[in-house]
Structure 1
Amino acid sequence: MPPKPKPVMLDVDGVEVKMSSPDKIYFPELGDDGGRKADLVDYYRTMAVTGPLLTAIAGRPTFLQRFPDGVEGEQIYQKHLPKYHPEHVQSTRIVFPSKRSGDAFCPRIAADVVWAANLGTFTFHTWPTVDPDNDHPEQLRIDLDPPDGKSFDDVRRVALDLVKPFLEEIGMTGFVKTSGSRGVHVFVPIRPEWDFIATRRTVIALGRELERREPKAVTTSWWKEERGDRIFIDYNQNARDRSMASPYSARKSARARVSTPVTWEELVDIDPEDLTIATVPALVERRGDPWADIADHRSGLEKLLEMVERDEADGLGDMVYPPNYPKMPGEPPRVPPSKMVAEHWDEDGNRIEPS
């Protein structure tokens, strides 16, 4: 058996970080030509040291989606900061829907990002909050999720023709990025004055309005049996403990695609297949980071909250939470419509046990 290769010590903006097994193949389709662990670590080192990645994730509770054996290996989804970590790596306290608390990874400096990349982290999944206040989001997150059979072009059209104009109508600024697959993510900076209950409800109201405007194109239905071939606005990405791939995160893909911030003008003809760990650094160097000033565009939720009240008055209340959440006040029955028997549920959505 050949000897195990010695770790490489990297200087990351003045902090020494160890990289083990640099030649391990993470992306077999790329092989030695851009598909090694060293290539992923170098990508994160570049994006963190030059700034755009840290602008997006610094100070946020961050979950690590790790593939220590590469894209074809098993996934580790890590919500808690590992017990053993360098002194420069910090955590932030978070409270889960169960009311239990934990300590999540909270990157501050470039070395933190490279340390996580050495663990096999492909994707940094961030909360919409900033330490130490992890109870009040400062972003709304609009996740446009295509069903099978729909392409990136279909999602792109919804983002450009529905989401962007609506946000402009209500005086909010959306920042758009590719998901790293066929989806599109729009992050909307807000003032951190509302809790997760309120921010989630405003995204439900936003989604319902878009659904009214083009009911054949988009849906807010949590149940797949009701969605058909419509693009789903995943409002539950705004629930407590839900996180989304950060800007500039690599995704689990054979080509090492990246969830990449773009301008709205670039979204018109961008090809997400071209946005990879090999190409994104040069793109940012050439035209800068389109999300660099996102924190300068925070707005309030007043207009969306008015829409929440209007929907309530029209009989449109809350919608279901993900299955691992406790039953929430005002939540409808958490059961697919095709399996729902009305007499088994009370008016508050609680199951009536047979006597």
Structure 2
Amino acid sequence: MPADALTLTAPGPDGEERAVRLSSPGKVVWPATEAGAAITKADLAAYLEAVSKPMLRALADRPVTLQRVRGGIEGEEFYSKNPPKGVPEWSRTTTCTYPSGRSHPQLVIDDLATLWWTAQMGTVTWHPWPVRSGDNDHPDELRIDLDPQPGRGFADVVEAARGLREVMTEAGLTPFVKTTGNRGVHVFAAIEPRLEFLEVRHAVIGLARELERRMPELLTTAWWKEERGERIFVDFNQATRDRTLAAAWSTRILPGAPVSVPLTWEQLGDVDPAGLTLHTVPDFLAEHGDAWAGLHREAGSVDGAYALWEADLERGLGELNFPPDHPKMPGEPPRVQPSKKVAEHWDADGNRVEGT
């Protein structure tokens, strides 16, 4: 019979002991699969302790959005931007401004005890912002998601990632790669926190378009799925305010508890991402270490990537679509699927003509 609760203790940043009550530790979060046994809340807590050093390196001093579940991954799923009720008094928050102009606090996860507490609250995936708590408007990470469409395998994603590495390196950035915990990869680079979100997004679009020119049969920047075909989507909108990616070493809300794992560029293509799960990753980390330990050792300049955006403006290439929860932006294309667009209903700036 599982215990009703466990009390977990971990030192805080100042060395003081912090206690977290883990209720229903035997509760199943991930059901059993052919590849592994069921995973309980206690198993998740043990995993977080095992990877806490590198995972906190990815989370600490950043606002974090929590992807939570009720009743395990097969139950209700939701995102918490506001800190959940009952935040421990020793945890801290930082105020973020959203595309709507609203502002409110988000949790900052600086230590293992806070990380455990979020797991107690049903968190299964942690999504840090690309900014630090002291300046929530100027990203210090440039992030690109390579999202394979149906018909593409992981070998295609590896080829795309290597091409992106080349483009980013030429632009003066030092790219780092990780699995997503699903079918794609994430490519990050540390940057100087000088530019606002919109400018960083434009730098990402510059990189994405250059990559698309070099590998047009493999990659696309097409926002609408009906225009992508089987090409891999270079998701430039992950650089937009309030868009986040799963943290390095975070579990994902998918069967078997896959993990988003940093790799060296040499490991990419040799390591099967399907084998990187909550069950296997602690041993992988112990053997290989954290490939992202040096991510923020030296921040790069965004200037080279932004120059690609400016060169495309001179070629007549302009703004790309924003996510639907963002306000309409100047120069943005019409927010309607190309197959449903009636040309005379839209003006040159992408705004619907009144009365149509």
Match of 2:14 in 1: none
Q: Distance in 1 between matches of 2:145 and 2:33?
A: 29
Counterpart in the other structure of 1:293? 294
For residues 119 and 84 of structure 2, the distance between their equivalents in structure 1, rounded to whole angstroms, comes to: 14
Residues 63, 124 of structure 1: 8 Å contact kept? yes
Report the Cα distance in structure 2 between the residues aligned to 1:271 and 1:67, rounded to whole angstroms: 27
Give the Cα–Cα distance (whole angstroms) in 1 for the partners of residues 310 and 168 of structure 2. Answer: 18
Question: What is the percent sequence identity of the aligned residues?
Answer: 46
Deviation at 1:171, TM superposition (A): 2.1
Superposition pairs of residues 51-200 of structure 1, within 5 angstroms = 51-160=53-162, 162-200=163-201
Query: Given residue 11 of structure 1, which amino acid in structure 2 is its aligned partner?
Result: T
Compute the displacement of 1:343 (Å).
2.0
What CA distance in whole angstroms lies between the structure 1 residues aligned with 2:77 and 2:266? 35
| Secondary structure in structure 1 of the residue aligned to 2:58 | helix
Q: TM-score, normalised by structure 2?
A: 0.95
Distance 2:304 2:91 in 1: 39
SS class of match (1:294)? coil
Tell me which amino acid in the other structure corresponds to 1:45.
Answer: E
Q: Which residue of 2 aligns with 1:47?
A: 51
Which amino acid is 1:275 matched to? L
CA drift at 1:149: 2.2
1:67 shift after superposition: 1.8
Number of the residue aligned with 1:28: 31
Change (3 A) 1:338 1:30: closer
TM-superposed CA distance for 1:79, in Å, is 1.1
Unmatched segments (≥5 aa) in structure 1: none
Question: How large is the RMSD of aligned CA atoms in angstroms?
Answer: 1.6
Query: Which amino acid is the alignment partner of residue 166 of structure 1?
Result: V
Secondary structure of the 1:249 match is: coil
Specify the code of the residue in structure 2 equivalent to 1:41. Answer: A
2:325 alignment partner, SS class? coil
Contact 2:203 2:307 survives alignment (8 Å): no
The size of the alignment, in residue pairs, is 350
Q: Distance in 2 between matches of 1:223 and 1:259?
A: 26
Q: For 2:255 and 2:42, how far apart are their aligned partners in 1?
A: 16
Amino acid at match of 2:66: L
- The list of structure 1 runs, each at least 4 consecutive aligned residues, that deviate by more than 3 angstroms after superposition, is 30-34
* Equivalent residue for 2:10, pick from 1, 9, 12: 12
Report the Cα distance in structure 1 between the residues aligned to 2:214 and 2:152, rounded to whole angstroms: 19
Shift of 1:287: 2.3
Is this contact kept in 2: 1:34–1:278, CA < 8 A?
no
TM-score by length of 1: 0.95
Deviation digits for residues 243-290 of structure 1 (CA, Å, limit 9, x no counterpart): 110100000122111000011111121101111112211222222211
Tell me which amino acid in the other structure corresponds to 1:249.
S
Q: Determine the C-alpha separation between the residues in 2 that align with 1:202 and 1:53.
A: 27
Distance 1:203 1:236 in 2: 9
* Aligned residue number for residue 232 of structure 1: 233
Equivalent residues of 2:31, 2:38 under 8 A apart: no
Please tell me whether the aligned partners of residues 148 and 233 of structure 2 are also in contact (alpha carbons under 8 angstroms): yes
Give 1:34 deviation, angstroms.
5.4
SS of equivalent to 1:250: coil
Which amino acid in structure 2 is aligned with residue 349 of structure 1? Answer: G
8 A Cα contact 2:208 2:234, kept in partner: yes
What CA distance in whole angstroms lies between the structure 2 residues aligned with 1:342 and 1:101?
37
| Range with greater deviation from structure 2 (341-350 or 250-259) | 341-350
- Superposed CA offset, 1:195-236 (max 9, x none): 011011111111111110011100001001110000000111
Amino acid at match of 1:344: H
- 2:134 counterpart letter in structure 1: P
Are the equivalent residues in 2 in contact too, given 1:138–1:190 (CA < 8 A)?
A: yes
- Cα shift at 1:338: 1.6
- Structure 2 CA distance for aligned equivalents of residues 206 and 178 of structure 1: 20
Question: Does the 8 Å contact 2:31/2:37 carry over to 1?
Answer: no
Residue 211 of structure 2 is matched in structure 1 by 210
Tell me the secondary structure at the aligned position of residue 167 of structure 1.
helix
| In 1: Cα distance, 2:50 partner to 2:205 partner | 37
**How many Å separate the matches in 1 of 2:344 and 2:299?**
45
Report the alpha carbon displacement of residue 77 of structure 1 after superposing the two structures with TM.
1.1
